[in-house]
Amino acid sequence: MGGHTFPEVPCVVCNRPLALEIDLSVDEDGNPIHAECYAHRLATARSNETPAEKLLDTLATQPLPLCCPECGSPFSHLDATFVLQSGKSCTIPLPVCSCRASHEGTALHTDA
């Protein structure tokens, strides 16, 4: 019985064929990609980001706090949408506790 040959599948980044026996990676869209090509693409994309974009990306991936550190009450969350000059936008849930409104006149809503 002869061995089965796999069809040639190109990497979406470098267009070189993937070794399907070992290259089992796909990108966020499900396209076949070498792991090192994907890592390079992510690093390159990240290095082109402005500091504000990097900050929003970091904040968007942080776990949400569950309770207020001052009173222990569970937080409710308000979605805040940030729009950068580049046109990129990001919505981040911000923790809100009712006790914060009573501390030193802190406002629940501010316009920057």
pLDDT tens profile 88-101:
888 888 888 888 65
DSSP 75-100: PEEEEEEEE-TTS-EEEEEEEE-HHH
Count of domains for the chain: 2
State pLDDT tens for residues 38-71: 888 888 776 777 888 888 888 888 888 888 888 8
Domain span at residue 85 reads: 50-112
Kindly report whether the global pTM for this prediction surpasses the value 0.85.
no
Residues 22 and 42 in one domain: yes
**pLDDT for res 110:** 46
Residues 56 and 89 in one domain: yes
